[in-house]
Amino acid sequence: MDWIKENAKCVGGVLGALLIVFSVFGGVLTFDGRYEKVGAAKAEAQAVEQKVVKNLDEFQKNQKVINQEQRYQVLTDQMMTQKQLIKKYPNDPELKEDYVIIKEERDKVKEELNKTR
């Protein structure tokens, strides 16, 4: 005990130095932990972003297919209407031309629909 009393300044300096070292070390660990969490959150955010982009791409593809199917149905309905009109007015050349145009467009839509499926 006498030695501690005689060297109080030295012991105080050593304890102060140890306190500073441990404070700096603790601060470094705190910052590393914080940045580690930020890095993990960033990686998670990127994974979520990729998933959202994938879902949007699938949604767009599905919407395109749905639109093509609806267009195909509309053209089929128009074809049936044209057939009825041709039966009602067999001498009208415009009805026959319109029927051919509708049929060609319907065939194109059907080909596109088969490619996208």
Distances from the Cα of 70 to the Cαs of 86, 89, 105, 108, 114, in angstroms?
A: 24, 28, 13, 14, 14
Q: With a cut of 70, list the residues of the chain below it in pLDDT.
A: 1-9, 11, 28-39
In this prediction, residue 51 carries a pLDDT of 92
For residue 91, give the DSSP letter: T
Q: Tell which residue, 105, 82, 58, 78, has the closest CA to residue 113.
A: 105
pLDDT at res. 43: 82
Please give the model's pTM, rounded to 2 decimal places. Answer: 0.59
Say if residues 62 and 68 touch (Cβ distance below 8 Å).
no
